[in-house]
């Protein structure tokens, strides 16, 4: 038979068990280390999410640009009177179809090296086309492969005399590659300086170029004109955004697991004293 003291001790033990569980649940004030971990997780989540939304915004801008390019390509070809006289106006006409008449200036032909088509190294062949009223435009006539044994050996590209009619696509001047400041003066060059080239030829070159799109004639072999369609890289930005959002979600998930879920599971698994 339990004495009053024994019964009281039993009740005190029973009442102590919930209190023990409560204390073991670690409801105490978080340590500075836990605050630092929380702050770091919030910073990483916020930064990566912000980068994700930035990439989405860039993708939206590129998507609008792609739509603009496709719209320009559907417009009627530009004629001689509509051609841009300056660089600012030319920027609004890039990717427009154009039809030109003029005479080739074969002595102004330049072979731009280290250019690729379908992953093969070679040259872009660029020749001035003299228009009426004395001005001219550089025409990117196509790509030719490089000689594997002698890079200075150039193929013979037929450049017919007389008035020529060609179709093409308005484009900026040929893209510049890294060089050591020597533009060169021979037929093979790394880059093309339009102003210097115009001065050496005594021509008034327009500050843009034309990608010729006519089918390659038999006399123009081995020229190739498989120009890539203008692309703005929308999918690239969407891919980057997905990666940033995934990293943000991963950071949040790791914090919840290691700082909230796992400690509670560990405390529940510990035996009660």
Q: How far apart are CA 173 and CA 242, in angstroms?
A: 35
User: How many Cβ atoms from other residues are within 10 Å of residue 38's Cβ?
Assistant: 13
Per-residue model confidence (pLDDT) at position 150 = 84
Mean pLDDT computed over 197-214: 94
Per-residue model confidence (pLDDT) at position 1 = 47
Taking 90 as the threshold, does the pLDDT of residue 224 lie above it? yes
Shared domain for 216 and 144, answered yes or no, is: yes
Q: How far apart are CA 193 and CA 204, in angstroms?
A: 13
Give the range of the structural domain holding residue 155, as residue numbers without chain letter. Answer: 79-220
In a domain, 35, yes or no: no
**What would the pLDDT profile of 89-109 be if each residue is shown by its tens digit?**
999 999 999 999 999 999 999
In a domain, 10, yes or no: no
3-state secondary structure 10-35: HHHHHHHHHHHHHHHCCCCCCCHHHH
Taking 60 as the threshold, does the pLDDT of residue 65 lie above it? yes
Shared domain for 145 and 201, answered yes or no, is: yes
Shared domain for 126 and 88, answered yes or no, is: yes
In a domain, 29, yes or no: no
In a domain, 33, yes or no: no
In a domain, 200, yes or no: yes
Mean pLDDT computed over 118-131: 94
**What would the pLDDT profile of 42-64 be if each residue is shown by its tens digit?**
999 999 999 999 999 999 998 99
Number of domains in the chain: 2
Q: How far apart are CA 160 and CA 100, in angstroms?
A: 15
φ/ψ of 104, rounded to 5, equals: -65, 150
Q: How far apart are CA 267 and CA 25, in angstroms?
A: 7
């Amino acid at each position: 038979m339990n004495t009053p003291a024994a019964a009281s001790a039993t009740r005190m033990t029973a009442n102590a068990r919930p209190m023990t569980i409560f204390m073991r649940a670690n409801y105490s004030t978080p340590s500075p280390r836990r605050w630092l971990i929380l702050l770091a997780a919030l910073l990483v989540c916020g930064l990566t999410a912000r980068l994700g939304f930035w990439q989405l915004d860039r993708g939206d801008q590129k998507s609008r640009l792609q739509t603009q390019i496709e719209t320009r390509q559907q417009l009627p070809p530009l004629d001689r009177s509509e051609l841009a006289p300056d660089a600012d106006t030319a920027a609004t006409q890039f990717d427009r179809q154009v039809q030109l008449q003029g005479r080739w200036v074969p002595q102004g032909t330049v072979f731009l090296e280290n250019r690729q088509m379908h992953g093969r190294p070679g040259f872009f062949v660029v020749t001035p086309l003299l228009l009426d009223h004395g001005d001219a435009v550089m025409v990117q006539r196509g790509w030719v492969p490089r000689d594997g044994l002698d890079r200075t050996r150039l193929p013979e590209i037929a450049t017919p005399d007389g008035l020529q009619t060609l179709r093409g696509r308005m484009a900026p001047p040929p893209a510049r590659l890294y060089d050591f400041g020597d533009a060169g003066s021979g037929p093979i060059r790394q880059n093309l300086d339009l102003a210097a080239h115009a001065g050496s030829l005594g021509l008034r070159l327009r500050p843009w170029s034309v990608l010729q799109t006519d089918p390659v004639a038999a006399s123009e072999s081995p020229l190739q004109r498989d120009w890539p369609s203008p692309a703005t890289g929308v999918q690239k930005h969407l891919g980057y955004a997905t990666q940033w959002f995934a990293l943000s979600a991963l950071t949040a998930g790791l914090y919840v697991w290691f700082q909230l879920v796992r400690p509670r599971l560990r405390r529940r698994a510990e035996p009660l004293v």
